[in-house]
């Protein structure tokens, strides 16, 4: 079960965090992983880890918000491997603040990466998938696409758009053997979270991390690997009857 042997999987933002975990799990399950990240060195570290574990992977530098770059990189992928079975749109950035605390620059920055990046990569991947009669697109949304969370105005805007783009792609291509779903995590403990807390809450790190953990009724944050295992299911043949869905992985948040 959950065998991805023979599949080519492109994972954006795979240099760290959830993207890195998804790339590692996909590589372990037999996929040839193409790790895309704006930071080529980070992508290469992910590739090295996958290869060290016996998997196949290559790294490519790509700013998902740059249309010309995205078109060029996906054309390179098609020339090199002549296929694209799975696209995971994971690359994203965060912002903390309500509408009054969100500048136009903040708003545009979140839109550019989190929304436009999903649009551009999906648009570049779809012609290859259609040519080859099928494929899977998986988007990383967030619990904020489903419920209100304080002080996440711009981030909620962007992930709500990811949710609705997911449904739109699923409806438009369901008859052409392309599935599209999204994952909606609650808080996930990654190095990004640790760095963010250290930068903005110096001296209160332990207290703030505890608050972030207690937001989930289970009393902890999720792990990147837990999200990666859900991603594996949704991109595998075992999920062949699933499309247009938003899957919460939230430690019980929606039950509150």
111, 155, 233, 247: the catalytic one is 155
247 as an active site residue: the answer is no
Cβ atoms of 32 and 206 closer than 8 Å? no
Residue 178, phi-psi category: left (phi > 0), alpha (psi -120 to 50), beta (remainder): beta
Structure-derived torsion over alpha carbons of residues 127, 129, 130, 136, reported in degrees to the nearest 10? -120
The residues that are catalytic are 155
């Amino acid at each position: 079960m959950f065998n991805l042997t023979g599949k080519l999987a492109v994972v954006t933002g795979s240099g760290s965090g959830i993207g890195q975990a998804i790339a590692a799990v996909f590589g372990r399950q037999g996929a040839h992983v193409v790790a895309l990240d704006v930071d080529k060195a980070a992508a290469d570290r992910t590739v090295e880890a996958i290869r060290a574990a016996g998997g196949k992977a290559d790294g490519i530098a790509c700013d998902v918000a740059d249309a010309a770059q995205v078109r060029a990189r996906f054309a390179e992928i098609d020339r090199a491997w002549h296929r694209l079975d799975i696209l995971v749109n994971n690359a994203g950035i965060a912002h903390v603040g309500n509408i009054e605390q969100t500048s136009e620059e903040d708003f545009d920055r979140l839109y550019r990466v989190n929304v436009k990046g999903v649009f551009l990569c999906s648009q570049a991947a779809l012609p290859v998938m259609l040519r080859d009669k099928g494929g899977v697109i998986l988007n990383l949304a967030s619990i904020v696409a489903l419920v209100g969370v304080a002080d996440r105005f711009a981030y909620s805007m962007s992930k709500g758009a990811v949710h609705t783009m997911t449904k739109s792609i699923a409806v438009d291509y369901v008859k052409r053997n392309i599935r599209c779903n999204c994952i909606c995590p609650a808080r996930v403990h990654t190095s990004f979270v640790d760095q963010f807390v250290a930068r903005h809450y110096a001296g209160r790190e332990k207290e703030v991390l505890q608050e972030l953990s207690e937001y989930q009724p289970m009393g902890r944050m999720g792990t990147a690997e837990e999200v990666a295992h859900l991603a594996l299911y949704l991109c595998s043949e075992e999920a062949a009857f699933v499309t247009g869905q938003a899957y919460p992985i939230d430690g019980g948040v929606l039950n509150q």
